[in-house]
Amino acid sequence: MIPLRSDISLIVDGLHRLNTRPLSVMEVCGTHTVSIFRSGIRSLLPPDLRLVSGPGCPVCVTDQGEIDAALSLVERGAIVATYGDMLKVPCDRGSLASKRSEGYDVAIVTSAMDVAALAEKHPDREVVFLAVGFETTSPATAALVKEAEQRGLSNLSVLSLHKRTPPVLAVLAGDPGLKISGFLLPGHVCVILGHEPFSFLPRDCGLPSVIAGFEGEQILLGLAEILRQYSRGESSLASVYGRAVRPEGNEKARTLLDEVFVSRSAPWRGIGVIPDSGYALAERYGVFDAERRFSLTIEPGKSLPGCRCGDVLTGKITPPDCPLFRMACTPLSPVGPCMVSSEGTCGAYFRFYKGDS
Amino acid sequence: MKTTTVTLGHGSGGRQSAELVRFLVEGFMTRGIGPELEDAALLPGGYAMTVDGFTVMPRKFPGGDLGHLAVCGCANDLAVRGASPDYLGLSLVIEEGFPLDELKDYMESAAATCAAIGMTLAAGDTKVVPAGGVEGVLFSGCAFGKVHSPFPLGIGNLREGDILIVSGPIGRHGAAIASARFSLEVEGLESDCAPLWPAVRPLLSLGGLRCMRDCTRGGLGTVLCEWAEGSGLSIALEEEAIPIELQVQSLCDVLGFDPLYMACEGTLALAVAPEDGQKALSLLKESAIGRNAAVIGQVSGGEPKGMVSMRTSIGGERLVDMPWGELLPRIC
C-alpha cells in the first residue's frame, strides 16, 4: 500500500524534532543504500543526521583473491555460473565479463537452483556455482547442494564465497575510528536469522539497532526509531519490519544453513580477514566443494592501488572523498567493487548524487 | 572509447551505446555528411528514413515476435518524427539449419503488422551463413515515409514549461523479455510491442507539439536524459505520475532493475507546449495504445541544467541518470 503523504510528513517532522545533535547511522544493506537514493530520502533528513553506507553489498565485499579463484576455474574449462552483477567485478587480471568476451563459459543465473539444470544439461562439463551473498542467498545454495546430492550431479560443485553478517558488524561496532550512533539492520537477512544474532549491538555496544524494510517509508520509520532511542539514552533492538521478520527468524532456512555449511574465516574486500565471517561447505558435503575438487587455495588479494573501497565499506569516507571516484573509477570501468554493483555505494552515488543535494 | 573491443554494454541503449555511435560515425561527422542522431532522419523533399536491427531472444515472447517487432521498431522510428510508415525494406541474415516454418511465422506476423498500418514491403534481401555464423536469424529493417508534421519535430524545439507525457505504462517490452530470458514467469506480463502511428497521427495537428521519442532500449529514463542533455534544460518528473504495471514493477524488484530503463516497443514520450498539454493527453487517450497516457512532468529552465530530477513518491528529490553498461540482474 502506498502510504499517504501526511504519514510521511509526520515521520519526517519527527526526525527533525528528534535530531538535536550530529549523528551518523549506518545502513548495512546495499538494497537500503539504493532505496535511500531512489526515494530521495537524504533530501528529507535533518542536516545533522548523516547516513553511512555499510558493507552490505555482496558483490562489493567479495575479495580480489576470490575473483581470481573464479577466473582460474573458467580458464580450466569449467562453466562458471553466478548472479549477474558478479560479472563485472574486477581483480587485477580481469573479470568474469572479460573472460566471457574472450569466449570462456560464464552463465548468469537468477536462482541457485538454475545451476542444477545447467549441470544436467552439460553432463560432460564441470559446472561450478560461484556462490556469493549473505544469509539471504546462502540457504538457496545449501538447497542446491542437497539437490545435487539427491540427483547425483557429480559434475556440479560450489565455490562458496558466502559471508555472514553478524561478525562484520561486530568488527565495525568495535572500530574506534568509526563514529556510528546506530544501525539500520538488513531486513532480508533478519528474515532468516531473526533478532538474536544482532542483539549484541545494543546490549554490548550500546548502539540502537533497528530492523527495517526497503520502502522509503520503512527506512524513515527505522531512522525515527533510532533517533528516538538515542534521544532517550536507550539502546535496544527494534523492528519496524514486523510483517516479514519474525523474532526467531526462519527456522527451516537456518537448519539448512547449519546442515550444509560451517563457518570459517573469510576475506572481505578492503576490510581484511574476519574470523567466522564466511561459510564453507561442511565435511559431509565436501564432494561438492569446488575448492577441494580443483585444489584451489584462495589467497586474500592485494588492494587495488588508490582504491578506497575499504574505507567506503566501513563508512569512514563517502565515495566523493575517494580520489578515483568519477575520474578513474566509473560504472563502465570500475576500479573497485563498490562501483560495480547496482547496490554498491559508489555506484549508487555515481548514479544519484551530483553534489550536495 | 575506453575499451579496445565491443562489449555488451555498448548494446544496452545507454550512455555507452551513444559513445559507440559517436565513435563509429566520426568520419562522417568530420566530413559534414553525418546523421543528426534522432530516431529517424528528415530528408529533403518531406521524407523520413530510418534503419534498425533486431536480434531479440527469445524470438517469440508474450505480446509479439521478431517479425512484429521488426516492423513496429522501424515504423515507430518514423512515427515519432511525424512520418507515416509507407515503405519497408527487410534484410534477413539466416543461419544454415534454421527451421523454415519458424521463419515463415515471423514474415507472416511482419506482413500482418504492415497491413494494419498501411506499410508496403518495398525491398528485401536474404543471406544464408554457415551454422555458427549468426545465432538463428537477424532481421534488419529500413523504413521510409512521408513527413506529415507541419514543422520538424526534435529536441531543438524543447522550451521551458513544456509538458511531458508518456503514452502508457513503461518498461513492458524489456520486462517481458527479461521474464522469458531469466525464466521468471509473471502472469499478465506482456510486451507493449505495437505500432505508434495510429496514435501519433492526430497529434500532428497540434501546433504546440515539440518532440516525440519511441522509448526503446534504455527506456523512458534514457530518452528524458537525452532530452535534458540535448536541450540544456532541466526536466522535473513526478514519480507517482509515471504509469508502471504491477507486473513490471515486481519483475524489476526481483532482478534489481529500474523500470525507468526497461525497453518499450510501443510507448512514446512526448513534449508539448503547456497550452496544448490537455489536448495532447486526450487525443492520446482516444488511441489504442494511449488509454493510460499520463502527464509525468515538465521541462523547466531551473537547476540542475541538462539533467533530469524526480520528486519521489515519499516527497524526496533525486536525480535520474542514464543507465551505464549492460543491465545485469543483481544478487539478492
Q: Which residues of A touch B329 (CB under 8 A)?
A: 83-85, 108, 110
Question: B174 and B290: one domain?
Answer: yes
| Architecture label for domain A1-305 | 3-Layer(aba) Sandwich (3.40)
Put simply, the answer to whether B328 touches A37 (Cβ < 8 Å) is no
Which residues in chain A are contacts of B16 at CB distance < 8 A?
A: 332
Whether the pLDDT of residue A207 is over 50: the answer is yes
One domain for residues B112 and B209: no
| B313 with A342: Cβ contact below 8 A | no
Position B214 in a domain: yes
Position B8 in a domain: no
Clarify whether residues B71 and B201 are in a common domain. no
- Chosen domain end from B122, B146, B170: B146
Q: A39 and B314 in contact by Cβ < 8 A?
A: yes
What mean pLDDT is predicted for residues B110-127?
97
**pLDDT tens digits, B262-308:** 999 999 999 999 999 999 999 999 999 999 999 999 999 888 899 99
CATH code: domain of residue B53:
3.30.1330.10
Q: What digits encode the pLDDT tens for the residues B73-99? A: 999 999 999 999 999 999 999 999 999
Residues of chain B with C-beta less than 8 angstroms from the C-beta of A212: none
* pLDDT recorded at residue B325: 67
Q: Which of B182, B254, B325 sits opposite A331 (nearest CB)?
A: B325
pLDDT at B52 over 80: yes
pLDDT-derived band at A206 (thresholds 50, 70, 90) equals very high
Residue A2's pLDDT band (cuts 50, 70, 90): very low
Report the helix count and the strand count for chain A, using DSSP H and E: 15, 11
Q: Report the domain count for chain B.
A: 2
**B220 & B265 share domain:** yes
| Of residues B82, B75, B155, the one with CA closest to residue B118 | B75
Q: For chain B, say whether A14 makes contact (Cβ under 8 Å).
A: no
Residue A165 has pLDDT above 60, yes or no: yes
CB contact under 8 A, A132 and B331: yes
CB contact under 8 A, B258 and A38: yes
Q: Are residues B56 and B182 in the same domain?
A: no
Q: Are A155 and A126 in contact (CB under 8 A)?
A: yes
Q: In this predicted structure, which of B68-82, B112-126, B308-322 has the lowest mean pLDDT?
A: B308-322
Percent of chain B with pLDDT over 90: 79
pLDDT at B328: 66
d(CA A151, CA A141): 15
* B134 and B88 within one domain: yes
Instruction: Tell whether B23 is covered by a domain.
Output: no
Domain closes at, from B90, B124, B146: B146
Contacts of B319 in chain A (CB under 8 A): 351-354, 357
Interface probe for A, chosen from B244, B314, B324 (most Cβ of A below 10 Å), is: B314
Q: What is the ipTM of this complex?
A: 0.76
Q: How confident is the model at residue A356 (pLDDT cuts 50, 70, 90)?
A: low
Q: Under DSSP, is residue A209 helix (H, G, I), strand (E, B) or coil?
A: strand
CATH assignment at residue B245: 3.90.650.10
Q: How confident is the prediction for chain B on average, in pLDDT?
A: 93
Q: Give A59 to chain B, closest Cα distance, Å.
A: 8
What SS3 state is found at A325?
A: strand
Dist. CA A344–CA B70, nearest whole Å: 37
Q: What residue ranges of chain A are covered by domains with CATH 3.40.50.11740?
A: 1-305
What is the model's pLDDT at position B185?
A: 83
The C-alpha cell at A150 is 539427491
Give yes or no for A31 touching B (CB within 8 A): yes
CB contact under 8 A, A40 and B325: no
- Residues B74 and B124 grouped into a single domain: yes
With a cut of 50, say whether residue A181 has pLDDT above it: yes
Kindly calculate the radius of gyration of chain B based on its CA atoms and give it in whole angstroms.
19
Tens of pLDDT, residue by residue over B213-238, are 999 988 999 999 999 999 999 999 99
Say yes or no: B166 and B287 in one domain.
Answer: yes
DSSP characters over B219-273:
HHHHHHHHHHHHH--EEEEEGGGS---HHHHHHHHHHT--GGGS--SS-EEEEE-
By Cβ distance, the residue of B312, B325, B329 closest to A332 is B325
Indicate whether B159 and B102 sit together in one domain: no
A53, burial (CB in 10 Å: exposed 0-12, middle 13-18, buried 19+)? buried
**CB burial of residue B189 (10 Å; 0-12, 13-18, 19+):** buried
Same domain assignment for residues B180 and B282: yes
B132, burial (CB in 10 Å: exposed 0-12, middle 13-18, buried 19+):
exposed
Same domain? For B201 and B287 the reply is yes
B191 and B304 both lie in a single domain: yes
* From A29-33, A87-91, A147-151, B243-247, the region with the lowest mean pLDDT: A87-91
CB contact under 8 A, B321 and A331: no
* pLDDT higher than threshold 90 for residue A339: no
- For residue A329, which residues of chain B lie inside 8 Å, CB to CB? none
More confident residue, B137 or A58: B137
* For chain A, percent of residues with pLDDT exceeding 90: 65
Question: Residue B10 falls within a domain, yes or no?
Answer: no
Report residue B105's pLDDT band, with 50, 70 and 90 as the boundaries.
Answer: very high
Q: Is the pLDDT score of A110 beyond 70?
A: yes
Q: Residue range B131-139: average pLDDT? A: 93
State the residue range of the domain holding B316.
Answer: 155-320
Please say which residue of B146, B169, B196 terminates a domain: B146
Does B18 map to a domain? no
Grid cell locating B116: 494494419
Those residues of chain B whose CB sits closer than 8 Å to some CB in chain A are 2-3, 5, 7-9, 15-16, 182-184, 240, 254-256, 258, 304, 307, 310-319, 321, 324-326, 328-332
pLDDT value at A357 more than 60: no
Which pLDDT score, from 0 to 100, does residue A54 have? 86
What one-character DSSP code corresponds to residue B134?
S
The pLDDT assigned to B145 comes to 98
User: Mean pLDDT in chain A?
Assistant: 91
E strands, B98-238, where? 120-129, 137-146, 163-166, 209-214, 234-238
A58 reaches B (C-beta below 8 A): yes
